[in-house]
Amino acid sequence: MPTPTPVPTSVPAPTGRLYGVGLGPGDPSLLTVRAVEVIASADVVAYHSARHGRSIARSIAERHLRPGQIEEPLVYPVTTETTDHPGGYRGALEEFYEEAAARLAAHLDAGRVVAVLAEGDPFFYSSYQHMHKRLAHRYPTEVVPGVTSFSAASARLGRPLVEGEETLTILPGTLPEEELTARLAQADSAVVMKLGRTFPAVRGALERSGRLAEARYVERATMAGERTGRVADVDPESVPYFSLAVLPSRVAALPDRPEETARDEAVGEVVGEVVVVGLGPAGPLWLTPEARGALAAAEDVVGYTTYVDRVPVRPGQCRHASDNKVESERAEFALDLARQGRRVAVVSSGDPGVFAMASAVLEVAAEDPYREVPVRVVPGMTAAHAAAARAGAPLGHDYAVVSLSDRLKPWEVIAERLRAAAAADLVLALYNPGSRSRLWQVGKARDVLLEHRAPETPVVMARDVGGPEESVRIVTLGELEPAEVDMRTLLIVGSTQTRVARRGEDGAERIVWTPRRYPEG
């Protein structure tokens, strides 16, 4: 019996392996052992370069390249946003990345091991990522991490980046200056990458956010031509792309080196400052970036105990809590601290200019001996606006804000203002409606308003908005029950035009709004 002819079987084509290799910040001695192993054993070594052909990545890895390796220079078609490509700068780069990925894929399909060199870390603002996105789902891939440029910068400065509960913010200098300013104001520690032509905007953002004095500059960390110093001292015309700005840890702050303090010694006496900060109605979600920055920069925090407790504890920061009925004494205490050269944050709930500490501080600051003390007010989300947003848009037209507390003004004045606002058909936001010692004002206010408003007028009862016991109800003015109102409640009383509607499939959601148009006549 003849031997059957074997059926030919297909042999799978060899598949190569892709490596993204982090080279570290520039000093070849900072390559990891794994990076050296991969570079030395790869069949193909790819690296990006500009049109002049010189590649910083290749120069870092050069001592580990071996004869016989295939080198694939990936030469950028453009290095600025000036191009005649029909798709513009982004179109030119997208086309380049597609072509580069196709070249590497040809090697991988041939079974070769391909190492793509990446300065710093392959997954941190690296060009390697464009190859990874196009190839990693098709071929076995390993990414070899590298020392980042900001880690090297921190080490060369000799200043820790973060300690304890601090957070680190990494920002590209290409962001708009306004955005940089907001993010730097609220950051604990920060690094701004990609300087070069963006340096003037970055410096401006540091200055506007109040962080310029602490900002440090690092150029070509660990490489030939390394330069460090203060951002404030750097000539904008001298800044290359391979530089960054660092806001080091405030917790682990170190004394300046002698050469860094020389300039400051000529400045003279340290001038303190009082910043009156609005914390918003409740919780960190309601805090503005500017407020976060002011709280982080303060050496002393002064305020009513309940509000001071809402400020995160920071090592080295002094906290001075007091009773809610000593506004003038608290303001004077804060201003005295500032006269001693301290940076002081006086905190208030909501917005400090709305029934809060800003007016108390400014009243004292207008008198001797405090006239020369710098005072700033940092706004916050008001309780009225927070409550209105939870209910819908009851403040969509003209409105008035009135405090029902008679501790600092007679009830007769309050009642007259309520009548005037009601007669003018204004929506009313009522602060401080009641407390354990004031149980009658809400009923009196309701009766005054009913002289001008129908009992069906919508009323928003907003309690502890933003807090764990938040409750927002919509009732009518006639149904308003004083016993259900306390000091943590804010009332919004609608005008004749305020509307209430039900939403959702079952109509369970109720919203209230006041139209922006008012009827004629």
Kindly report the CATH number assigned to the domain that includes residue 60: 3.40.1010.10
Encoded tokens for 241: 């792309």
Q: Residue 6 has what pLDDT?
A: 61
Which of 118, 147, 176 lies at the terminal end of a domain, its last residue? 147
- The tens digit of pLDDT for each residue in 323-352 reads 877 899 999 999 999 999 999 999 999 999
Domain shared by 195 and 131, yes or no? no
Distance CA 461, CA 446 (A): 13
pLDDT score, position 88: 77
Cα 345 to Cα 303, 329, 357: the distances in Å are: 8, 15, 11
Confidence of residue 266 (pLDDT cuts 50, 70, 90): very low
More confident residue, 440 or 192: 192
Are 357 and 391 within one domain?
A: no
Q: Does one domain contain both 142 and 61?
A: yes
Tally of domains in the chain = 4
The two counts, helices (H) then strands (E), for the chain are 15, 23
| One domain, residues 217 and 131 | no
For residue 405, is pLDDT > 80?
A: yes
pLDDT of residue 192: 98
Please check the confidence at residue 139 and state whether its pLDDT lies above 80. yes
Residue 92 has pLDDT above 80, yes or no: yes
Task: Give the residue with greater pLDDT, 21 vs 322.
Answer: 21
369 and 405 co-located in one domain: no
Residue 267 confidence (pLDDT) above 50 = no
Q: 366 and 294, same structural domain?
A: yes
Residue 7, domain member (yes or no): no
**In this structure, are 409 and 437 located in the same domain?**
yes
Please report the pLDDT score of residue 99 as a whole number. Answer: 95
Beta strands 227-230; 343-348: pairing state? unpaired
Give mean pLDDT, residues 237-254: 88
Closest CA to 308 of 256, 6, 317, 270: 317
Please indicate, yes or no, whether residues 396 and 441 belong to a single structural domain of this protein.
yes
Does residue 167 register a pLDDT over 60? yes
| Single residue among 351, 378, 405 that ends a domain in this structure | 378
Is residue 264's pLDDT more than 50?
A: no
Angle of helix 441-449 versus helix 411-423 axis, rounded to 10:
30
CATH number, domain of 477, equals 3.30.950.10
pLDDT score of 440: 87
Query: What angle in degrees, to the nearest 10, is found between the helix axes of 327-339 and 357-365?
Result: 60
* Mean pLDDT score across all residues of the chain: 90
* pLDDT given for residue 263 in this prediction: 47
User: Which amino acid, one-letter code, is at 75?
Assistant: V
Of 34 and 508, more confident: 34
Is residue 193 in some structural domain?
yes
Residues 128 and 179 in one domain: no
Residue 2 lies inside a defined structural domain of this protein:
no
- Tell whether 8 is covered by a domain: no
Q: Please give the DSSP secondary-structure letter assigned to residue 257.
A: P
**Is 9 a member of any domain?**
no
Has residue 289 been placed in a domain?
yes
pLDDT at 23 over 60: yes
Check whether 295 has a pLDDT greater than 50: yes
Residue 11 covered by a domain: no
Same domain, 23 and 142: yes
Q: pLDDT grade, residue 156 (50/70/90)? A: very high
- The two tokens of residue 237 are 């015309």
Residues 406-430 pLDDT 10s:
888 999 999 999 999 999 999 999 9
Provide the whole-model pTM. Answer: 0.77
- Interatomic CA distance for residues 382 and 400, integer angstroms: 13
Q: How confident is the model at residue 509 (pLDDT cuts 50, 70, 90)?
A: confident
Q: What is the pLDDT of residue 434?
A: 77
DSSP-derived letter for residue 51 is T
Within 13 A of 452's CA, how many CA atoms are on the CB side?
Answer: 21
* Phi, psi dihedral angles at 425 (to 5 degrees): 60, 40
pLDDT of 80 reads 62
Q: Which of 147, 169, 187 is the last residue of a domain?
A: 147
With cut-offs at 50, 70 and 90, classify the pLDDT of residue 268. Answer: very low
DSSP 23: -
Q: Is the pLDDT of residue 1 over 60?
A: no
Which carries the bigger pLDDT value, residue 463 or residue 4?
A: 463
SS3 88: helix
Is the pLDDT at 239 greater than 50, yes or no? yes
Examine the domain organization and report whether 154 and 208 are in the same domain. Answer: yes
Question: What local confidence, expressed as pLDDT, does residue 4 receive?
Answer: 62
- Rounded (10°) angle between helices 177-186 and 289-297: 40
In a domain, 31, yes or no: yes
Range of the structural domain that residue 129 is part of: 17-147
For residues 155 and 131, membership in a common domain is answered with no
